[in-house]
Every structure is written in C-alpha cells, then in structure tokens.
Amino acid sequence: MKLERLNELLKKLVQMEDAEENLEMVPLYEEALELSKEIYGEHNLKTLEIYNNYGGHLRNLGLYEKAEYILRKAVVCAKIVRGKEHPDYATTLVNLANLLRMMKQWQESESLFYQALALYKITIGEEHFIYAGTMNNLGLLYYEMGNLERAKECLEHSLHILEGKEEYIIPYATTLHNLVDIYKKEGEIFKAEHTLKQEIEIYRQQHYEGTVLYAAALNSLGILYCEKEQYEKAKAVMTESVEITKKHLGEASDAYKTSVKNLEMIHEKLQEKKMQKNHEILQETLKGMTSAACASESNLNCEKGSEERNHTIDKDTEKGFVKGLDLCREYFNQVCYPLLEREFSNFLPRMAAGLIGEGSECYGFDDEISRDHDFGPSFQIYIPQEDMPIYGERLKQRLNTLPKTFQGFGARIESQYGDGRVGVFSIEDFYRKFIAAEGVPETLSHWRQIPENALSTVTNGEVFFDHYGKFTKIREELQKGYPEDIRLKKIAARLMKMAQSGQYNFPRCNKRKEYVASRLALSEFMSVSMSLVYLLNHSYRPYYKWVHRGLLSLPILGKTAYDKMQRLSVLSLEKDYKEMEWIIEEFCVDCVKELKTQGLTSSSEAFLLMQGPEVLKRIKEPALRNSNPWVE
C-alpha cells in the first residue's frame, strides 16, 4: 500500500513539474521522502534520488534554507550509499555547491566544486561532458564573485572540452552564451557579438531555430545591438525572439514578458532617435531664422528675442520636471524587476508591483516643495498572504540591498509618519490597511463606513505589473466607484449640506457681518460641493489638500467647479460678497442640470434642499431610501 502510494506520488510530481505547479509540489515531496525512508530506509538509492530532486526543486523555488537542509542530507546519503569514490557522490556535491552559489556562500561552494571536479577526474575523466558542465558552473560562481578572469578561464576550459564533439554541440553553444557577458564587461564588444553570432549559427546548423535557446541568443544579440545604438538591427532580432518565446513558452512566461519589455525599449530608443533628429533639424532652422532676424532688427529687438528664448528655456526646464511616479516606475523597471527575474523568477507569477496610496506622487501632484519628505526612488510589491512566510522576509531583505539612489535622485526621505508606505505587502494587508477589508466590501453597511479619502488612496497611483491578477482585480472593482445606492445616499447628503451652508447660512452670516461664521459656512459649502462633483463622476474625493487640484481630472463639472472654487477663495467677504453669493447660486444650478442629465431628479428647483429627497427616491434598498437625507 505504501509502495503504491510512493509510486503514485513520484508519477504525480513528474506531471506537476511539466505543468509548473511549483509550490503545490512541496508537500508531495515531503510525503514521498517520508514514505521512501519507511519503505527503503534513509540511506537508499531511491531516497537519495528523492533528496536530490526535492533539494533542486526547493532551490528553484528560492527556499534556500530548506533546500540546504535537504541537500546536505543528500550528501550524507550519497556518501553512505555510493561511497566517496563514486561519481554520484560528486553530482550530489555539485547540487549543493550550486545552491550555496545562489546563497552567496561562495567559499564553501568553491570548495565543493573542486572536490567534485577532483572526483570526476579519477572516475569519468576530464573529457566527459559532466566534467565540462561542472567547470561551467564553477565559471558562473567566479562571475558572480566578480572574478572575471577565473570565470573566463573556467568557461573557456569547459568550451575546450566540448569543442569538436558533435554530440555536445548544444552544450558547447550554451557555454558560448555564458561567455558573452564576460566579454561585454571586459569591453570586448566585438568578441561578444562574434560569440553570439557563433552560438546562433550553431543553432541554425542543428535546426534549433524556433527553440527557446535560439530565442534567448537572439534576445542577447538584440540587447547588444541596442547598446551599440544599432536599433534597427536590434528590432529585427528582438522581434523574432519575441515571436519564438510566445510560441513555445506562452504570453504568461517571464521569458516572453522580458523579451516584450526589451522590444518596447528598442521601439522607444528608435522613437527617441527620430525625435532627436527632428529636434536637430528644427534647431538648425531656428538658428538660421534667429540670425536673420537679429541682422535685420535693432539691438533692442535682438535683446528682446534673447529674453524670449531664455524664457522658453525656463519653460522647457519646468516641463522636464520628473514626477515621483515616473521616477519610481523607472527605478522599479530598471533596478528591481531584473533582480526579481534573476532571483525570484519562480514567484514572479504570484507578484504585483506599483506605487499606490498616501503621498502626492501617487496622484501626480508632487512638485519641488513636496520633495522634502517621503520622496525618492521606491515602490511597493504585493504578494498573497499565504506566500509571505515562504519568501516574503527574504524578498524584503533582498530589496533592502538595492541602490537607494537613482538617476541623480537621492535616497527616499521618510517623514515621522511616512514609514511603511513602500516595500513588500501582502495583498490582503494592503487593502485592509485602508478599507478594513481584504478585498471589495461585501455589504452596503461596510461601504458606508469607509472614509471616502481612503477609497481614493487605495485606487490612485499605478500598478507597474500584476502577473497574479488578484491585486488588480480588487483595484479595478473599487475603481468603479461606490455601489449606486451608496452613491445616491451620499449625493443626497451633499445636496442638503450645500443648501444649508452655501445657499442659506452664508448670505445670512454676511448680512450680520459675522465674517468668521461666513468663512466657516463658505468652507463647508466648498468642501461638500467638490465632494459632490467626485460623486457625480463615480469617483472618490481624495485627502482634503488635493480635493481642489483633483477636480481638473474629472470630466463632469470638474473644470467648472475648479474655477468657481478658486474664485470664491480669493474674493473679499466685505467687498465681493454679492459676487460670491452669485457664484454659489450659479454652481448650484449647474449641479441640478447634471442631476437631471443622470436621471437623479425630475425637478428644476435650484434650492438644493429640495433636491436631496428627490435623489433619495432613486435608492433601491428600502432602509437607505427611507433614511434621513442629511445623513450620508
């Protein structure tokens, strides 16, 4: 019975590996390992096989500590079962060495590689492809250690072993691929290009066109062409790489997404080059026109032209201001995402990233003044709650080692209350922080309890990528706005308060010359009026200091409200109160027109106290429909 279960598990694991169901395989490996120990004993060939396969799987998942425990057990098992003179023992050492290389335990990793090489030398010989593969891995270790000279020696040694052996021609080509980055770092661009072309030619001769290996070589060649600013060549080979990767790995694969990103970068470079050329032509034309104008005009006019050009330069400089969201997006794409692909590739399908939440940069409202706090290269990564204990802490620690400065911008300056805005979050905790729910609220009661600015905060900013989809699914549902009954309830309450504060109390306080009360009434009117505009746009009012500025992004009454609120804020209560009353009444009429457009009233009454109950009638939920219109 146990043997049948073990065979069933091992068969299932093979199927799951083909389907890339990586995380789900861990408990099955655990069960298989325990069954093998019970059936065959802890030191048995079958148990050794499971140890090695399980350890390699954990390594690929990035679960390094658990993988180290399993692979060290495998070394002990291999030593007992095969003995220290058997090549299988050497292979187990290599498995552990590769793991330690990834864990940056380079000294022990190097020692294990040399032990394995020495054993291979006396068992299978120095000309065996396994020996060459181990030498290749040692070369990768030295490359990661920054020892390019030793890395190059090892890889070229591996290459020498494989060279001329038809049966090893593909491993020979992949070793060529590993040498390319070394040549590039040494500044030997021509040699790097020649090596890539040699690799690609091998694939063509072996009819490997259309394979993933061929696509990877094309991708590297495209990047090299791009670095040489040969963008048309880069575009051609990268396009082919993208098509092959899509066919074999699918659009959901990391390799495809990386290739697409590289191709997009090349298109951007081509566009920049075209724009630069057009700019140069324009500058030459303007230069000629300016010279002619200065020659024919007086010195006064020439000086005036110079002042105008200086003004243009100032304006261009202003236009070149880098927004925080743009900075963070580029920082993530250029610095973080490549790291995730290298070290957390198995978890990328379960991640999302972006910059969302508190801070003017999340709305695009940041400027020079706002850069004195909570500004700098940063981002957020969102992962499922159940993944946090698996790789969450390791991800946080690794991200903390990233460069803190980027493109001339200093490290993020956190204010006293700005801690915890960026970094790694579980999807559930991120939403819970703002809306007290792990996802979209399920009841109208819950919706009513969430502060409006909290909903605005959690739906602003930008998602840089979302391979998992859960974060974006919740976000897109929230971005649709309030459930209609809640929206209508809030609109009714806003209308009542606009009538009370602006149409009724504001003029009465002015007549009494109670200017403090007038200001308070005006402030209340402006606040609820702007909130109404957001509701009419099926949107959420942001934090108070961005409410006015945010109006400009709203198509319904946004610009109208922006201009009128701006005018109300600068007029004098003593001198301009009549104009202020007129602006208030005019805006209330605009709101009634929009209510009718949206089918929320059939009345043309301009006094908004009469419109609140009208809107309330449209609510479907009986308790809300019959509630007090003053209460939102």
Q: Is the pLDDT reported for residue 289 higher than 90?
A: no
Strands 380-383 and 423-426, by their bridges, are parallel
Neighbours of 129 (CB within 10 A): 17
Residue at a domain's end among 275, 290, 320 = 275
Beta strands in 185-340 (DSSP E): none
Per-residue confidence (pLDDT) for residue 262, from 0 to 100 = 83
Buried b or exposed e, range 397-418, using 16+ CB within 10 angstroms: ebbeeeeeebeebeebebeeee
Count H helices, E strands: the chain?
Answer: 29, 4
**Shared domain check, 544 and 464:** no
What CA–CA distance (Å, rounded) separates 444 from 606? 30
| Residue that terminates a domain, selected from 429, 448, 479 | 479
User: Both 424 and 547 in a single domain?
Assistant: no
In a domain, 457, yes or no: yes
**Are the C-beta atoms of residues 11 and 44 closer than 8 Å to each other?**
no
Residue-level pLDDT at 297: 40
CB neighbours of residue 619 within 10 Å: 19
Taking the C-alpha atoms of residue 99 and residue 305, their distance in angstroms, rounded to an integer, is 67
Specify the DSSP element, H or E, that contains 430.
helix 427-435
Q: How far apart are CA 592 and CA 495, in angstroms?
A: 10
* SS3 of residue 20 by DSSP: coil
pLDDT tens-place string over residues 39-66: 999 999 998 999 999 888 888 767 788 8
For residues 457 and 506, state if they share a domain: no
Task: Work out the number of other CB atoms within 10 angstroms of the CB of residue 54.
Answer: 24
Same domain, 473 and 574: no
Please state, as a whole number, how many other Cβ atoms lie within 10 Å of the Cβ of residue 629: 17
* Assigned token pair, 17: 């590996």
pLDDT of 628 over the 60 cut: yes
Same domain, 579 and 619: yes
Distance CA 157, CA 126 (A): 10
The span from the CA of 127 to the CA of 140, in Å, is 20
Residues 340 and 254 in one domain: no
* CA dihedral of 85, 86, 87, 90, whole degrees rounded to 10: -60
| Residue 519 confidence (pLDDT) | 93
Residues 458, 491: one domain? no
Out of 275, 300, 316, a domain closes at 275
Looking at residue 584, its pLDDT comes to 93
Domain count, the chain: 3
Query: Which amino acid, one-letter code, is at 299?
Result: N
Q: Which two tokens stand for residue 178?
A: 């590993």
190 is a domain residue: no
Q: Are residues 444 and 489 in the same domain?
A: no
d(CA 569, CA 522): 9
Gap between the Cα atoms of 459 and 560, Å rounded: 24
Does the pLDDT at position 625 exceed 80? Answer: yes
Torsion of the alpha carbons at 501, 616, 477 and 458, rounded to the nearest 10: 20
Q: Which residue has the higher pLDDT, 375 or 432?
A: 432
C-beta atoms surrounding 571 within 10 Å:
15
Token pair, residue 487, equals 């929206």
How far, in Å, CA of 323 to CA of 612, rounded? 41
Which carries the bigger pLDDT value, residue 626 or residue 474?
Answer: 474
Instruction: Pick the more confident residue, 33 or 322.
Output: 33
The predicted-structure confidence for 544-562, as pLDDT tens digits, reads as follows 888 999 999 999 999 999 9
Task: Name the nearest CA neighbour of 430 among 461, 404, 397.
Answer: 461
d(CA 411, CA 437): 32
pLDDT for 248 equals 67
Percentage of residues of the chain with pLDDT beyond 90: 38
| Of 167 and 339, the one with more pLDDT | 339
387 with 512, same domain?
A: no
Q: State the pLDDT at residue 524.
A: 95
| Concatenated DSSP letters of 49-101 | HHHHHHHHHHHHHT-HHHHHHHHHHHHHHHHHHT-TTSHHHHHHHHHHHHHHH
- Please check the confidence at residue 214 and state whether its pLDDT lies above 80: yes
Structure tokens at 388: 């946090």
- Domain assignment present for 417: yes
Give me the helix-helix angle, 484-498 and 573-597, nearest 10°.
150
Question: What is the model's pLDDT at position 317?
Answer: 32
Q: Are residues 526 and 447 both part of a single domain?
A: no
Torsion of CA 543, 545, 551, 552, to 10 degrees: -130
Listed residue (509, 508, 431) closest to 475, CA to CA: 431
Tell me how far apart the alpha carbons of residues 155 and 451 are, in angstroms, rounded to a whole number.
61
326 in any annotated domain: no
Residue 593: CB atoms within 10 Å: 10
Rounded CA separation 20/23 (Å):
9
Predicted TM-score (pTM) of this structure: 0.51
Which pLDDT value is given to residue 249? Answer: 62
Query: Mean of the pLDDT values across residues 451-476?
Result: 91
Same domain, 534 and 610: yes
Q: Is residue 172 part of a domain?
A: no
* Residue 554, domain member (yes or no): yes
How many angstroms separate the most distant Cα atoms in the chain?
105
**503, part of any domain:** yes
Range of the domain at 514: 484-625
Q: Clarify whether residues 369 and 463 are in a common domain.
A: yes
Q: What is the pLDDT of residue 238?
A: 86
Angle at the Cα of 538 from the Cα atoms of 532 and 543, rounded to 5 degrees: 60
Average pLDDT, rounded, for the chain: 84
Give the CATH number, domain containing residue 548.
1.20.120
Is residue 548 domain-resident? yes
pLDDT at position 291 over 60: no
Confidence bin at 257 (pLDDT 50/70/90) = confident
Confirm if 184 and 192 have CB atoms less than 8 A apart. Answer: yes
Ramachandran class of 125: left when φ > 0, alpha when ψ lies in -120 to 50, beta otherwise? left
> Residue for token digits 């009419």?
536
Say which residue, 64 or 286, is predicted with more confidence.
64
- What mean pLDDT comes out for the span 210-239? 86
Q: Say whether pLDDT at 68 is over 60.
A: yes
C-alpha torsion angle, residues 220, 225, 228, 231 (rounded to 10)? -140
Closest CA to 428 of 448, 458, 450, 398: 458
Ranges 100-104, 278-282, 470-474, 492-496: which has the least confidence: 278-282
Instruction: Report the distance separating Cα 604 and Cα 594, nearest Å.
Output: 11
Judged against a pLDDT cut of 80, whether residue 237 lies above it is answered with yes
Nearest of 588, 601, 435 to residue 502 by alpha carbon: 588
**Which two structure tokens, joined as six digits, stand for 181?**
């980055």
